[in-house]
Structure 1
């Protein structure tokens, strides 16, 4: 009945015209207009039935959303259109939470802001099993080190350590080291003193900022003996590694992404040398000192320390750096916004003349959210539009999620062992929450409560209950994750990006290569593991960076205050 031939969607659907597997598949085919004279056939090959089998669903589970191509459609959608696929799927189905059949299994995808927050609070949804699986694929770690994560509860201890050491006095020290390193880089650049050296012409503004922030961030963590300062080639090594299959789900990743694999090897070698030495300098972050001390309690070798710390570096760079780029790009591509932010940030710094003729400018980094509310709004808006991460959790026990309380509120059963996917892009771009057609547009005043584009759509509250649009918007804004897995480094990331912007806004003009207004590049197509969009690789990113008159002889310092809130 079926002729063996290369797979094609059209021929496959033609074969299905005379076949009905079950009522669900009949309705699925009919829904998309693919059903024509479907009738029972007792001679269906068993292999086809297995191929088309859908997962069994408890009626209390989230509704099943069939792919357009049976069995592999959702998987293909996620590969071909990473992250946007979930946004488009939610727009088409409008389910608060859905079950997606993939291959011979299923995943849950949560879209509703209320259910997302309920998931963050639910102790039966955990990241730990996924972390353990990832660590299990880290073959550069010794077997005993991998067991420490999987069996000895190290993940929970590490998260608590990060929360403690990325706040308070430890955070203030990191901010101080970061600002001093930033000042050192700018003072030593070709845009420093002297009329003949006031202009940097770069072929790629993204790479220029990326390289600076990579060194600043790693120095804040590792101090002045930071390998990235000693060997600038490690900058490209990291970003080459980051661009590959760091999820390690592909067994042949090391062969397929050779540059990525070689980058990882180079970084581990450098970190291995770094951790072989005892670092007692007070510019090494307390986070690094205590992380190493904890891991040594589990008998981590030097090579284990290096392999594990690469993950800390990755967490510190992968989202903060591209977010900083988009904040900068949105500001410098809008002259009116640039002028208003320069006025705001100028009034937020303190200046004094030094005996050597230089001028010291102090920034209260931890107070910038209060001193510079418009800049903070710009940060949040740029972060909203650039964040495309899909968060993951594993259901460790059968549990229920509900959008609220009351007799008419539905609860959904989530079954043990199933992976939960939480796409940030759905909540962050939902038109009915963020102003309709302008939801995808950049609005610098959106988070000030003064924007004329802020109005949401009442139909969303009709669908989701009586909660206000304002509260729903707060629940939908979770670029740093949530619950006990809320990003512990968010305060450092915010302070670092905000501090960088204050330095750039006051100290530098950034223009297009011909001296005009900087064009805003389009985001490039992301890969599945990308958490924050990058500029399109074909975009014109040429730029000129110039010291502003009167800001040539400036030393930047930081004065720390209370903790920054996201």
Structure 2
């Protein structure tokens, strides 16, 4: 999945930190230290103030901005940026035109909760963009030095990926070409299976030898990370050839929000050290010709980045933001889909029935062989369940930065709003996904909901927001649609899963979403008793 979903979340937090730096003179040292050690959500939330709904005018132009919606500051302290989605849902039919304003430290977030308005703001408008945010987040995640960051910004001009300026345009272009349906994507998926199948065989051997207690979240983080990395960086992937590197990535992943602040080795020492170990591995990968056997995606990305003038270590740092979108979302959603299915015995029975069509043969010991790549294509109920899980847990936010003062005209009644340069637009996918106006029984998990809809992000672009939309739609969606159902399907056919000590697996909850992540990691029990299924 593409980083575009979480870019804006991280940027909001970065902007708040910048504001905090300017406030140092008026905050005591003790207060500042407590603030810096608070969670990212708390840091963001404690600087946001809200009041009663009203309409107000821009100080600079006296033109009217969208209605101002504000509420309790204590809700921000408790829920952080989740409150934007809560406000979007609560005001679904209370504000005109599906757009309102939330005031944050003198700049404004324009919250959108209308599918029609979301379509407007995600278009490649000359007024809004994602390119500047993308560069900032990539550089921040990778720990790029100042000079390298300046090289990445060169030519972007704070414009969208569609403006033809800077490396972001070319980077997006090669990703689109490599990740679209076709030979390049097929090769990546085949490489994924080449790494995934041995993990299934290894787990079978372990379970047969008596090790039936399995932490599925830990196992999936390992197996998905290594297998996806094989699909992207090929057989020489550092994650494939260094048995513990996947752990270093996940240590970094838990800390990366803190790593963009000053003194990361103080406030996120383990994450900073883990990041450098992964960077070291990718330097060695490059020196040893790893890209020669990598996917077209990895090769083309590297060529675009080389043109920026980054040195070898700076190029290796770009593997960090690339990895987050690829590993974090894939592992999280795979666990979520598996958990939702195991909580519903009837659904499990129905999905296993359709999975039988993907069993190709049995070996001498009666062990079945499952065609992993067929599952996402030929198992419609499992695919529908995958999409319903995304509707249920994904943030689905569309973020844009206002690059130029934006006179927004509402066509239906010619109302004019003024969106100020430098502020943000937050298109709430959560508000749409949870609204009964767009989904029948929206508060219920219905695995059949997307039967007959293979590509909801294009067949239902106005109301299915898990992959974003428009020119910045998640380019990894086709890859995810194959590997996640494929991974879940092979697990369900190979193993039976029982609660360990009577505790069922937890089900990931959107409310547990960490700032900057597109999907929530599981919190709660992730251990199950695993048994090999009889043929």
Judging changes above 3 Å, is the alpha-carbon distance between structure 1 residues 307 and 346 closer, same or farther for their aligned structure 2 residues?
same
Q: 1:560 maps to which residue?
A: none
Q: 2:161 maps to which residue?
A: none
Q: 2:187 maps to which residue?
A: 173
Judging changes above 3 Å, is the alpha-carbon distance between structure 1 residues 115 and 247 closer, same or farther for their aligned structure 2 residues?
farther
Whether the 8 Å CA contact 2:151–2:310 is kept in 1: the answer is: no
Q: 1:39 maps to which residue?
A: none
Q: 2:467 maps to which residue?
A: 480
Q: 2:66 maps to which residue?
A: 62
Q: 2:381 maps to which residue?
A: 374
Tell me if 1:314 matches 2:324.
Answer: yes
Judging changes above 3 Å, is the alpha-carbon distance between structure 1 residues 516 and 506 closer, same or farther for their aligned structure 2 residues?
farther
Q: 2:40 maps to which residue?
A: none
Judging changes above 3 Å, is the alpha-carbon distance between structure 1 residues 336 and 401 closer, same or farther for their aligned structure 2 residues?
farther
1:507-555 deviations in whole A, cap 9, x for unaligned?
121221148865646566332212111222xx222202222112xxxxx
Distance in 2 (CA, whole Å) between partners of 1:486 and 1:525 is 24
How far did residue 224 of structure 1 move?
2.2
Paired residues for 1:60-459 under 5 Å: 60-68=64-72, 73=73, 77-78=75-76, 80-93=78-91, 94-95=94-95, 96-123=98-125, 124-135=127-138, 137=140, 140-152=143-155, 153-167=166-180, 168-189=182-203, 191-192=204-205, 196-197=208-209, 200-202=212-214, 204-246=215-257, 249-279=260-290, 282=293, 284-347=294-357, 349=358, 351-352=360-361, 360-365=369-374, 368-369=376-377, 371-401=378-408, 405-406=411-412, 408=413, 410-435=415-440, 438-448=441-451
RMSD (CA atoms) = 3.5
How far did residue 97 of structure 1 move?
1.1
| Structure 1: runs of 5 or more not aligned | 7-26, 32-52, 451-469, 551-566
1:85-124 deviations in whole A, cap 9, x for unaligned?
1232234443311111111222211111111111111422
Tell me if 1:496 matches 2:506.
Answer: no
2:340 is paired with a residue of what secondary structure?
helix
How far did residue 340 of structure 1 move?
0.3
The structure with the greater share of residues assigned to helix is 2
1:386-440 deviations in whole A, cap 9, x for unaligned?
102544211122334466x44x3645332222221223211111233223xx423
Judging changes above 3 Å, is the alpha-carbon distance between structure 1 residues 434 and 477 closer, same or farther for their aligned structure 2 residues?
same
Q: 2:516 maps to which residue?
A: 529
How far did residue 165 of structure 1 move?
0.9
Judging changes above 3 Å, is the alpha-carbon distance between structure 1 residues 449 and 216 closer, same or farther for their aligned structure 2 residues?
closer
Which of the two has higher C-alpha Rg?
Answer: 1
Q: TM-score, structure 1 length as denominator?
A: 0.74
Judging changes above 3 Å, is the alpha-carbon distance between structure 1 residues 513 and 248 closer, same or farther for their aligned structure 2 residues?
closer
2:205 is paired with a residue of what secondary structure?
coil
Whether the 8 Å CA contact 1:333–1:519 is kept in 2: the answer is: no
Deviates more, 1:262-271 or 1:128-137: 128-137
Whether the 8 Å CA contact 2:141–2:321 is kept in 1: the answer is: no
Whether the 8 Å CA contact 2:405–2:421 is kept in 1: the answer is: yes
Whether the 8 Å CA contact 1:113–1:472 is kept in 2: the answer is: no
How far did residue 221 of structure 1 move?
1.4
Whether the 8 Å CA contact 2:396–2:518 is kept in 1: the answer is: yes
Distance in 1 (CA, whole Å) between partners of 2:239 and 2:248 is 10
How far did residue 324 of structure 1 move?
1.1
Q: TM-score, structure 2 length as denominator?
A: 0.79
Q: 1:558 maps to which residue?
A: none
Distance in 1 (CA, whole Å) between partners of 2:140 and 2:59 is 27
Judging changes above 3 Å, is the alpha-carbon distance between structure 1 residues 199 and 343 closer, same or farther for their aligned structure 2 residues?
farther
